[in-house]
Amino acid sequence: MTNTTTNNYPFLAACRREKTPYTPIWIMRQAGRYMEEYRKLRAQYGFLELCKKPDLAAEITVTPVERLGVDAAILFADILLILEPLGVGLEYSKGDGPVIHHPVRSGKDIDGLKDFDPEKELSFVYEAVRKICAALNHKVPLIGFAGAPFTLASYLIEGSGSRNYIHTKKLYYAAPQAWHRLMELLAARTAKYLNCQIAAGAQAVQIFDSWAGCLAPADYEQFVLPHTKAVIDAITPGVPVINFSTGTAGLLKQIRSAGGSVIGLDWRVNLDEGWATVGHDVAVQGNLDPVALFASPKEIRQRADDVLRRAGGRPGHIFNLGHGVLPETPVDHVIALVDAVHELSAR
C-alpha cells in the first residue's frame, strides 16, 4: 500500500476527511519491543541512547513500515525527551520506565527549571526526521509527535507514572497560578519542538495526552484545555494534528474543543458513538483494543470489521489501536490486522 506522490497519501487524505481508496492504518508503538529487530538493538543500546542516535532512530522507524505495510511511519522518540533540557534528571531505569530525579512540586521548583531552545537542544530528533524521510522515499508520510502539556507536567510533578496523580492535582488545586505558569512553559516549548519536526520533514503530528483520563471534565476545562489548545493553534498551518488521549470517553467534547484535525478514540467507546460525540466535521483515529491482537487472526479480522462497520465508510477514519501495541504481541497478528483493514475497507 504505497503511494508515490506526497499529495495522495491515504493517511493524509483521511486527516483532511477526503475520500480514500481504503481506510489507512498505522499503529501506535509500531516501532517497539514486539519486534525482534527492535529487541536486538535494545540489547546493545540504552533507550535514551537509541533516541539520540539519528541513524538508529531512523532504522527503528522505517523497519515496521516495511514489515507491516502500514500507511504512515511514526517517529521513534519519546514524549519525555523535551523534559531533559529542563535539568530535572531524566532516566529510563530498566523495568521501571522513565524516572524524573528532581520532581517539580512548587512554584519555586518551577522557577528553578532551566530555560532552553528546543531547536538547539533536540537537534538529534530533527536529524532523525530528515534521515527517516530520505529512507521512506515518499512511500508513506512521517508522523512527528510530542507529549501534551498535561501529560508532560504530570511526569514532571509525580516523578514517574502514577495511579492517582495526587501531587499533580494538589499543585493545580493549591497553586493554580504556578500550575498555569508551568503549563504555559511546556506548551510554548512543545509547539516549537513540533514545528521543528515539521520543518525537518514530518507531514503530520500527534499530541499524546496519555494521562488525561485521570481528569474530571471541569478540571480539564480549567487547567488543561487552554494549554493543549495553545499548542495546537501554534502548529504550522496546513499540517494535520492528531489530538490523542486515552481513558477519556467522558471528556470527548472538551478534547474536541482543544482542537486537532483528528481526534483519537480509544476502545472504551464505540467508534460510531465517539465520532458522533466529537462531531462528523472532524476526523477520528482508532480504536481497536490492543489486547485484541492476542486473539486468532480470524477474530482479529472480525474485530477490525466491526470498527470499520461503525465508521460506516465515512471519509476521515484512520484505523489504529486505542493505545500502543503491547510488547508480547505476535508480529504476524499485527500484519494480519493491517491486511484485514486494507482488504475489508477497499472501496
The catalytic residue among 29, 189, 301, 303 is 29
The catalytic residue among 17, 71, 78, 193 is 78
The catalytic residue among 22, 34, 38, 155 is 155
16, three cell numbers: 483532511
131, three cell numbers: 534521515
Task: Give the separation between CA 287 and CA 319, rounded to whole angstroms.
Answer: 7
**Is there a catalytic annotation at residue 96?**
no
Residue 127 Ramachandran class (φ > 0 left, ψ -120 to 50 alpha, else beta): alpha
**Is there a catalytic annotation at residue 314?**
no
The catalytic residue among 16, 33, 130, 310 is 33
Task: Give the separation between CA 344 and CA 298, rounded to whole angstroms.
Answer: 13
**Is there a catalytic annotation at residue 39?**
no
Residues 6+ apart with CB under 8 A from 265: 252, 271, 274, 275, 278, 284, 285, 286, 287, 322
| 30, 150, 165, 173 from 95: Cα distances, Å | 20, 24, 21, 32
**Is there a catalytic annotation at residue 33?**
yes
The catalytic residue among 42, 256, 268, 314 is 42
Q: Phi and psi (nearest 5°) for 149?
A: -55, -40
DSSP state of 223: I
**Is there a catalytic annotation at residue 42?**
yes
Question: Taking a C-beta distance cutoff of 8 angstroms, is the pair 265, 287 a contact?
Answer: yes
Tell the residue number behind the cell numbers 490492543, with chain if given: 290
Active-site positions read 29, 33, 42, 78, 155
